[in-house]
Structure 1
Amino acid sequence: MFLSLRAEVAGALSDALDSLDVETTDLGIEDPPESVDAVLASSVAFRLAAEVGAPPPQLAGDLAEAIDPSTYDYIESVSQAGPYVNFHPSQAYYDATLQAAGEEEFGRLDEKGETVVVEHTSANPTGPVHVGRARNPIIGDALANVLDFAGYDVSRHYYVNDAGRQMAVFTWAYETFEESDLPEPARERGDYDLVRYYRKGNEFLEEASESASENAEAEIRSILEGLEEGDETTYERVEEVVDGVLSGMRESLDRLPVNFDEFVKETRFIRDGSTEDLVARLKDTEYAVYEEDAWQLDLPSFEKNLVFLRSDGTSLYTTRDLAHHEWKFANFDRAVTVLGEDHKLQAEQLRETLDVLGNDTDQLDSVYYSWINLPEGGMSTRQGTGIDLDDLLDESIARAREEVESRLDSRIRDDELGEEDVARIARQVGIGAVRYDIVAKQPAKSITFEWERALDFEAQSAPYVQYVHARTCGILSEAQHASKSRADPPREDAADGVPETVDTTHLTTDEERELLAVIARFPAVVDRAADELAPHVVATYTRTFAEAFNAFYRECPVLSADGEVRTQRLALVAAARQTVANALGLLGVAAPESM
């Protein structure tokens, strides 16, 4: 309803400005100052006062007087406070909010008729997913969820590096070393098993004699050349390693959970000839130079040249990624990529090169994230000193279980909750804490993950918001149980004891109205998060939501209320439950029914 109200406010302001013979495209619609009792305000009088020749407060007053609220559904009244034109919502606005928020898809926007491919994670298949890169799948998945909810047709892609030197080294090592040469795997899973070969290979290359190193490099080079030449046997050799590691990595990502529609392999763009075609086109550009035994692009915006073809005729990751992006442009209206900040230069060179090749780079957006660290220290997959995502999730679930058991101790003793229930709640809270703590921060800011903060039920964390959902479920469950115990006649239009049609005439307290106002804003939050490619906006909203609901819970008894007050408060609780569940769902955080 908030979006509908905002549209009415925009129309009212435009008509009022027309009546004053003033033209502007920026209506200055924003949240009102804290001291103003309104849902929306306009600061347009600030910008137009000089043009009109009147003080801002006077112009704001003239605009307020020019608007007739009776011609709008959701505007009850318009007032002026200083330079602001303030808009107060009608009863119909609150009624429509309560009605809409009871729907399962509340907050979902109309279909845009636009396809978007979101590429994220895309970690090299050289071993288990480690914590340093965990921010990518968490941000990427939440972003894809937000875009989908905002009405875009979203495809989630993982771009698999199966053609670079790392995979050639990995394949050579896998075929060279014996099981007896390796330590025990950290876990019984494909990625943990195979990464031992990769680490052993890198160790050998660093310590081997010159002749042994030269022999190994020759074999590695032959693998790279075989891939470039389209040799089917070489593809199969590399694929065995890639798919084995990737299957294990997918198990880690499934725990978050993060799912993909397609795993797009680099070698696809070698095998279909698009990389070779792209190289030929790059050579024909005015920026192509052959220097230091390699073909490069001397792009005007960058000091460092972009190498796109080695002297031996093999392409580079960026070359193949250029072909990959042209494929995206041909198949999708927009392409969004989530990248670590260390890939920013490469991504900017890629964009300019795509532009040189005649592509519409307005189709391309990049979201950069900074690192996530643990107090324990640094991480490196190649050296095997990293902290794996699985370790982080295991630890978070274990710590969450301790907290959950302490809070549910009496219910566990009374057999109200069994082992399966406790394990489920611990998993939902533990993994939710990891996801929420990471996605709640602006991507460009580096963060250090801290257990105490992430799992704090009282602070603005995942458990704090999840507990709101659990509390709404508890209230509605008790209401339903009370209704059954009174042997009330069944109602066809009731769910959880809440009628499908209910108004807000008895929801008059400040806390009730504030909660309704926050609920109404959810679709606008989705709209903004999608427009700005910023899922952390949803996380910020959930904290505001939790504060509004907790204030309502403290001041407005539900189950002990009488008559229509009870009915309408139950409807408000049901609307709150649906809203917070949908918001948490966008973040990929579970909404537990009990905690």
Structure 2
Amino acid sequence: MFRQFRSEVADALAAALAREDLPTDDLGIEQPPEDMDATLASSVAFRLAGEVGAAPPQVAQQVADAVAVDGYDYLAAVDTAGPYVNFYTTDRYLTDTLETAVEADYGALPDRDTSVVVEHTSANPTGPVHVGRARNPIVGDAVANVLDMAGYDVDRHYYVNDAGRQMAVFTWAYERFDEDDLEEEPARDRIEYDLVRYYRKGNSFLEEADEEAVEEAEAEIQSILQGLEAGDEETYERVEEVVDAVLSGMKACLARLPAEFDEFVKETRFMRNSDTDDVAERLKETEYAVYEEDAWQLELDEWGIDKNLVFLRSDGTSLYTTRDLAHHEWKFENYDRAVTVLGEDHKLQADQLDAALELLGNDTDQLGHVIYSYVNLPEGKMSTRQGTGVMLDDLLDESIQRAREEVESRLGDRIRNDELEEEDIDRIARQVGIGAVRYDIVSKQPTKAITFRWDQALDFEAQSAPYVQYVHARCCGILDEADEAGISVTERVDADDLEAPEAEELLREIARFPSVIEAAAEDKTPHVVATYTRELADAYNAFYRECPVLSADSAEVRNARIGLVKASKHTMANALDVLGVEAPDSM
């Protein structure tokens, strides 16, 4: 309903400006300031003041007088408040919202008949997933979810780097060393924790061994790289054994978030089918290709990039970006749009990729990037462990444990009275603990660096995952009570029967949800959905405090409020689902 109302406001406002011979290029439609009762407002008077030669409040009044509200379903009235033109809804707006929002799929937009591939995570298969990279699967999964809910046909891809030097070193080390050569035990009983020890051993050997031994090792590593480039099947099989084993463990870690994928696309695919060779030859033929410092490079000054893109070494081996160019051309052939989620350290690479794709004749409007900054941990246990860094598994384990302690503290009486079984406590701790990690990370604007703090992430009273999850649990509790009492709402409920400003305000917040999904999908910004869940939770809690549901004054009010609780439940569940956060039935 909100999307239709906004469209009606835009139509009415554009028509009014046209009648006044004023430009309609920027209507300035926005959420009104909190002290205004309108559903939408326009700040267009600020833009037009200079052109009209009058103060913004006078211009706003001139525009409001020109707006005609007849013939619209949801646009009822217009007035002004200082420089703002305010727009108000009809009674039908709220009733139609309530009727629609009680459906389980509320918020899902119509099918757009547009395919999108979202590539995210794509961490090199060299060992366990590091917490510093945890933002990629969390943000990437949420981007894919919001596009899916917005009506796009979405595939989720993980691009596997199985052809670079790192994998050649890993393969060599795995074949070269035995268990007895390794100094430490695996940090966790899963295969990537076992195998990463060989990778570390190989790197330390290359740093510390004598010159002759290093030269011999480097020759073996180079032969692996050359074998991959030449399409040698035996070499592929050797590397694949290591890659697939490590990747299987990484998948198990990512499934805990959860972050799942439709396809794991290996970069060797584009070497074996000669697409990489084709890209390299086409790049050589462009006027921007130069052979310098024993390598083929692209000069990209024309695109504002002052660092050349090296796409082919002197020995004929390709680079990651060359293979990724072939990968992206494959995406363009198979999908209408492509979205890639990248860390901030890949920003230059993304710019070079875009320029090279354009050089190759591709429509780069098909491609979008989501660039994120990294997750830091505060000083303390999680940030001072020995080794190469904190793993995502460690963060999830500790979050679940902390959530369990909080749940046991809050629900002590119910636990002592045997109202909750052990499996209930485990479920709630997992839902809250992992939800806290995901929500805290996805709720921040991706380009801003964040420090994960336990006291904020697991705060049941503040605007955190438990705070918004608790709204869903409360809704479920009320609906279960209604069901146990034999109260069912089958007839069409009327929003006029809600009889409380807090109930109406909650319904207006619910009405915004589809437009929030639309905006988040358009800009690839799932954090705005997280912001919305906090605003929805605030509105619901005000309703919960002030508006009895099952003990309402009349059956009509009770039924309308039960309908509102059901609408709140579906809205919060679907918003959390977009964020990849579970919606507990009880807490």
User: Structure 1 CA distance, aligned partners of 2:436 and 2:382?
Assistant: 21
SS at 1:259 equivalent: coil
| Structure 2 residue 565 is matched with structure 1 residue 576 | no
Partner of 2:507: 516
Q: Is the 8 Å Cα contact of residues 132 and 379 (structure 1) preserved in structure 2?
A: no
User: Structure 1 CA distance, aligned partners of 2:131 and 2:54?
Assistant: 58
1:144-543 aligned within 5 A: 144-182=144-182, 183-300=184-301, 301-376=304-379, 384-483=387-486, 497-499=488-490, 501-543=492-534
**Structure 1 residue ranges (4+ consecutive) displaced by more than 6 angstroms after TM superposition:** 377-380
CA gap 1:448/1:50 in 2 versus in 1, 3 angstroms: closer
- 1:531 Cα deviation after fit: 1.1
- 1:376 Cα deviation after fit: 4.1
CA gap 1:583/1:500 in 2 versus in 1, 3 angstroms: farther
| Structure 2 residue 555 is matched with structure 1 residue 591 | no
Residues 301-344 of structure 1: CA distance to partner in whole angstroms, max 9, x if unpaired? 33322111111111111111111111111111111111010011
SS at 1:204 equivalent: helix
One-letter code of the match for 2:194? D
SS at 1:87 equivalent: strand
User: Structure 1 CA distance, aligned partners of 2:415 and 2:557?
Assistant: 34
Partner of 1:545: 536
Residues 215-249 of structure 1: CA distance to partner in whole angstroms, max 9, x if unpaired? 10000000000000000000000000000000000
- 1:377 Cα deviation after fit: 7.7
Q: Is the 8 Å Cα contact of residues 378 and 386 (structure 1) preserved in structure 2?
A: no
Residues 72-99 of structure 1: CA distance to partner in whole angstroms, max 9, x if unpaired? 2112221122222211111100001111
SS at 2:497 equivalent: coil
User: Structure 2 CA distance, aligned partners of 1:569 and 1:51?
Assistant: 49
One-letter code of the match for 2:61? G
Residues 463-488 of structure 1: CA distance to partner in whole angstroms, max 9, x if unpaired? 0000111011111111211227xxxx
CA gap 1:378/1:555 in 2 versus in 1, 3 angstroms: closer
Q: Is the 8 Å Cα contact of residues 27 and 44 (structure 1) preserved in structure 2?
A: yes
SS at 2:291 equivalent: strand
Partner of 2:7: 7
1:35-184 aligned within 5 A: 35-182=35-182, 183-184=184-185
User: Structure 2 CA distance, aligned partners of 1:223 and 1:309?
Assistant: 17
One-letter code of the match for 2:448? K
Q: Is the 8 Å Cα contact of residues 379 and 385 (structure 1) preserved in structure 2?
A: no
- 1:44 Cα deviation after fit: 2.0
- 1:278 Cα deviation after fit: 0.7
User: Structure 2 CA distance, aligned partners of 1:342 and 1:498?
Assistant: 54
One-letter code of the match for 2:434? I
User: Structure 1 CA distance, aligned partners of 2:193 and 2:264?
Assistant: 20
Structure 2 unaligned blocks of 5 or more: none
CA gap 1:303/1:21 in 2 versus in 1, 3 angstroms: closer
Q: Is the 8 Å Cα contact of residues 122 and 160 (structure 1) preserved in structure 2?
A: yes
Q: Is the 8 Å Cα contact of residues 516 and 572 (structure 1) preserved in structure 2?
A: yes
Residues 534-580 of structure 1: CA distance to partner in whole angstroms, max 9, x if unpaired? 00000011111111111111111112213211111111111101100
One-letter code of the match for 2:456? R
User: Structure 2 CA distance, aligned partners of 1:81 and 1:256?
Assistant: 47
Between 1:270-279 and 1:383-392, the stretch displaced more is 383-392
What do you get for the CA RMSD once the two structures are aligned? 1.6
User: Structure 1 CA distance, aligned partners of 2:24 and 2:32?
Assistant: 20
Q: Is the 8 Å Cα contact of residues 118 and 339 (structure 2) preserved in structure 1?
A: yes
SS at 1:480 equivalent: helix
- 1:506 Cα deviation after fit: 2.0
User: Structure 2 CA distance, aligned partners of 1:408 and 1:350?
Assistant: 53
- 1:109 Cα deviation after fit: 1.1
Q: Is the 8 Å Cα contact of residues 118 and 156 (structure 2) preserved in structure 1?
A: yes
User: Structure 1 CA distance, aligned partners of 2:308 and 2:135?
Assistant: 30
User: Structure 2 CA distance, aligned partners of 1:547 and 1:23?
Assistant: 38
SS at 1:506 equivalent: helix
User: Structure 2 CA distance, aligned partners of 1:378 and 1:222?
Assistant: 43
TM-score with structure 2 setting the length: 0.96
Residues 40-82 of structure 1: CA distance to partner in whole angstroms, max 9, x if unpaired? 0112232224434554333322332333434221122211222
One-letter code of the match for 2:581? V
Report % sequence identity. 71
SS at 1:499 equivalent: coil
Between 1:147-156 and 1:120-129, the stretch displaced more is 147-156
SS at 1:71 equivalent: coil
CA gap 1:397/1:117 in 2 versus in 1, 3 angstroms: same
Aligned residues: 581
SS at 1:258 equivalent: coil
SS at 2:405 equivalent: helix
User: Structure 2 CA distance, aligned partners of 1:212 and 1:376?
Assistant: 40
Q: Is the 8 Å Cα contact of residues 499 and 571 (structure 1) preserved in structure 2?
A: no
Structure 1 unaligned blocks of 5 or more: 485-496
- 1:280 Cα deviation after fit: 0.7
Between 1:362-371 and 1:66-75, the stretch displaced more is 66-75
User: Structure 2 CA distance, aligned partners of 1:34 and 1:242?
Assistant: 54
Q: Is the 8 Å Cα contact of residues 16 and 68 (structure 2) preserved in structure 1?
A: no
Residues 82-127 of structure 1: CA distance to partner in whole angstroms, max 9, x if unpaired? 2222111111000011111111111111222211111000000000
SS at 1:365 equivalent: strand
TM-score with structure 1 setting the length: 0.95
Partner of 1:493: none
- 1:289 Cα deviation after fit: 1.4
One-letter code of the match for 1:414? N
One-letter code of the match for 2:499? T
Q: Is the 8 Å Cα contact of residues 379 and 386 (structure 1) preserved in structure 2?
A: no
User: Structure 1 CA distance, aligned partners of 2:246 and 2:453?
Assistant: 29
User: Structure 1 CA distance, aligned partners of 2:91 and 2:254?
Assistant: 46
One-letter code of the match for 1:578? H
Between 1:31-40 and 1:191-200, the stretch displaced more is 31-40
Residues 11-34 of structure 1: CA distance to partner in whole angstroms, max 9, x if unpaired? 211222233333412222111122
SS at 2:297 equivalent: strand
One-letter code of the match for 1:339? L
User: Structure 2 CA distance, aligned partners of 1:463 and 1:99?
Assistant: 28
One-letter code of the match for 1:518? E
Q: Is the 8 Å Cα contact of residues 18 and 24 (structure 2) preserved in structure 1?
A: no
User: Structure 2 CA distance, aligned partners of 1:302 and 1:48?
Assistant: 38
Q: Is the 8 Å Cα contact of residues 118 and 140 (structure 2) preserved in structure 1?
A: yes
Between 1:123-132 and 1:10-19, the stretch displaced more is 10-19
- 1:371 Cα deviation after fit: 0.9
CA gap 1:440/1:196 in 2 versus in 1, 3 angstroms: same
Q: Is the 8 Å Cα contact of residues 199 and 384 (structure 1) preserved in structure 2?
A: no
User: Structure 2 CA distance, aligned partners of 1:48 and 1:220?
Assistant: 67
Q: Is the 8 Å Cα contact of residues 258 and 580 (structure 2) preserved in structure 1?
A: yes
Partner of 2:27: 27
User: Structure 2 CA distance, aligned partners of 1:508 and 1:62?
Assistant: 35
User: Structure 2 CA distance, aligned partners of 1:67 and 1:199?
Assistant: 70
